[in-house]
Amino acid sequence: MTGAFPFPVLHRSRDVAVIAKPAGLAVHPGPRTPHSLEDVLPLLSSRHYRAVAAHRLDRDTSGCLAVALSPRGAKALARIFGEGLAQKTYWAVLDALPATPSGTIAAPLAKISSKAAGWRMVVDPAGKPAITHWRVLDADARLVEFRPETGRTHQIRVHAAHMGCPISGDPMYGKGIGPMRLHARALVLPIDPAAPIAVEAALPADWPGFSAPESQ
């Protein structure tokens, strides 16, 4: 495959790239997502290594996604994400504001499934530990920043709903009206602790306007 990579490349070195994934595109193909990011990752590949996503974002989540460009990059990213060293910042528009301007939610998560309803994540005392820090960025726009300490599936979405403030447009844990407003705003990868990779992804153009401070 030849041509220009169709999405913004926020960082690129010999071993690692960070791209801005658009909402609506799955990272991996599946029965309901025959087209995925894997269709275009060959445009970042070399003759010796096929580029591969180092982690995942939900199909309807936009923003920073790390990609391994070499075996060394894949090993380094696997260590960073496996040891919980990657620092992730998400921005979300919520259906309602939390009761306080900032806080931390520690609510274990477990996966449940049924033949009729499929699978979903739920807060369960017997589940895996999950911790998310949050702060309100723009109260009028209901824009909230989330910083997860752990990386459980759907963690931010479930924690937001558990607070009574589901993410706008969330089809599984919220009302599902309109597009889901969850964006992986920033990513820090301390592959080299002395010079970590730090990137930010601009908000999608179709997000509502607001005034918010820079990520901290």
Question: Which residues belong to the active site?
Answer: 58
Residue type, 146: F
3-class SS letters over 46-90 = CCCCCCEECCCCCCCCEEEEEEECCHHHHHHHHHHHHCCCCEEEE
CB-side neighbour CA atoms (13 Å) of 43 = 13
Q: DSSP E strands: which ranges in the chain?
A: 9-12, 16-21, 52-53, 62-68, 87-93, 102-106, 109-114, 118-123, 131-138, 143-148, 182-189, 197-200
User: Residues with Cβ < 8 Å from 18, sequence gap 6 or more?
Assistant: 9, 10, 11, 12, 64, 65, 66, 67, 187, 189, 197, 199
Q: What are the structure tokens assigned to 148, written together? A: 């997860």
Question: How far apart (Å, rounded) are the C-alpha atoms in residues 174 and 157?
Answer: 9
CB-side neighbour CA atoms (13 Å) of 13 = 14
